[in-house]
Structure 1
Amino acid sequence: MPSRSPVPQEVSTELERVVRRWHQLPLDHALRCVPTVRTLLADLAGDRAPLLPDLGPAVVMDQLTVLVFDVCTAGGPDVDALPHRLRGLLADLSVDSM
């Protein structure tokens, strides 16, 4: 029997939307959005935030995916907030005025 992912479907769906949008961004827009994503990464990482290297826009979505998985594995109230936070990030990425 395959193991179930600890990531709830709603979180997975929102994460997929963020990643898909990220890959559609022109490089200059992505570069301007990296600090916004890194802020979310640091918040999700908590005490481990200093250990998160800034590897640039090509890797930041992989880092987000891993941290979302880690937060969901750990459980707790942070999981309930993830869909909202990911939708907020998606909105930030979609702002044309950046």
Structure 2
Amino acid sequence: MIDDPVPPAARRELERLARRWQQLPLDRALRCVPAVHALAQRFADQAVAPSLTGDRLPDLGPAVVIDQLIVTTHDLAAARAATPTAEPTVDIAAELAALRRDIG
């Protein structure tokens, strides 16, 4: 079994957010795509070395954006696990919870 690098609190928030996303009406999801995409991009940027940032996640719309967030959350948590002495610049669980509250 592969260890999950995502901290338990962040995993719970990610699961809650994904469930909520599935329940959103399409018009609401379309309005929320930019916020979800922005968080996924921030997580992607945090997951890589600063010299490699700048690659932009493609905007693939509401059907895929939550999957992008799941992947970038995992990438960020894995990057942190690989360098545990690095000071975290973002609280993953708090960011996910705030986004979940924002989308309703």
TM-score bracket, normalised by the shorter chain, equals 0.7 to 0.9
Q: Does 1:86 align with 2:96?
A: yes
Aligned to 2:30: 31
Distance (Å, rounded) in 2 between the aligned partners of 1:27 and 1:3: 35
What's the C-alpha RMSD, in Å, of the aligned pairs?
A: 1.3
Moved over 3 A (4+): none
Q: Does 1:65 align with 2:70?
A: yes
SS of the equivalent of 1:5 reads coil
Tell me by how many angstroms 1:61 deviates.
0.7
Query: Quick one: structure 1 residues 48 and 17, their matched pair in 2 at CA, closer, same or farther if it must change by over 3 Å?
Result: farther
Distance (Å, rounded) in 2 between the aligned partners of 1:20 and 1:10: 16
Q: Does 1:8 align with 2:4?
A: no
The percent of aligned pairs where both chains have the same amino acid is 47
Gaps of 5+ in 1: none
Distance (Å, rounded) in 2 between the aligned partners of 1:9 and 1:49: 28
Q: Is the 8 Å Cα contact of residues 34 and 56 (structure 1) preserved in structure 2?
A: yes
TM-score (norm 2): 0.81
Distance (Å, rounded) in 1 between the aligned partners of 2:2 and 2:20: 28
Paired residues, what number? 91
Stretch moving more, 5-14 or 65-74: 5-14
Gaps of 5+ in 2: 46-52, 81-85
TM-score (norm 1): 0.86
Aligned to 2:43: 44
Aligned to 2:21: 22
